[in-house]
């Protein structure tokens, strides 16, 4: 009896997840990134916010645009804009993604800009879309941003997002 019940629940969850990853569906995500867990040679620990939006060009394949801002207590700031793609394993909600980003850094002390520069990043991520309802998910993910400028600006981090599929 338990096996039948578990199988039925898994079938419902799988069907519900697959319906949201179909062609022409839209995606919107707001995430808190890093939670003080992101680390790179230049930034140490910090926290930020990210917005991502996109559409499914094909079943299980999404094209995404994203923006992110970071504020560090020591006066480091950055803004990031990028484009990427994700592939969803529709049976279970696990996804993998990649993309390119442009990031602008500023270092400010007592209201005076000390230094600024820009960098290109190649981003990799993997996460899970946990459906709370038919259109709302919680999406924990880990990511790695590979810097084109210097390996000290490459970073690994964790983010937690809330998403809408419509």
pLDDT at 109: 79
Percentage of the chain exceeding pLDDT 70:
79
What is the set of domains in the chain, with CATH numbers?
2-165 (2.40.160.20)
Q: Which pLDDT tens digit goes with each residue over 90-106?
A: 778 899 999 999 999 88
The residue ranking higher by pLDDT, 97 or 116, is: 97
Contact 145, 158 (CB under 8 A): no
Buried-state track 101-111, b at ≥16 Cβ within 10 A, e below 16? bebebebeeee
Instruction: Give whole-number Cα distances, 129 to 99, 155, 156, 158, in Å.
Output: 19, 23, 20, 14
Judge whether residue 28 has pLDDT over 70: yes
Longest dimension (CA), the chain: 68
């Amino acid at each position: 009896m338990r096996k039948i019940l578990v199988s039925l629940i898994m079938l419902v969850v799988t069907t519900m997840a697959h319906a949201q990853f179909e062609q022409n569906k839209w995606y919107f995500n707001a995430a808190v990134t890093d939670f003080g867990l992101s680390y790179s040679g230049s930034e140490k620990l910090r926290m930020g916010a990210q917005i991502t939006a996109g559409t499914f060009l094909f079943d299980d394949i999404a094209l995404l645009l994203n923006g992110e801002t970071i504020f560090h207590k020591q006066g480091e700031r950055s803004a990031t804009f990028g484009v990427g793609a994700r592939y969803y394993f529709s049976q279970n909600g696990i996804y993998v993604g990649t993309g390119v980003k442009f990031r602008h850094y500023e270092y400010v002390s007592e209201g005076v800009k000390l230094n600024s520069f820009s960098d290109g990043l190649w981003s990799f991520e993997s996460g899970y879309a946990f459906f709370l309802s038919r259109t709302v998910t919680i999406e924990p993910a880990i990511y790695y941003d590979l810097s084109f400028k210097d390996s000290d600006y490459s970073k690994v981090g964790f983010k937690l997002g809330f998403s809408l599929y419509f």
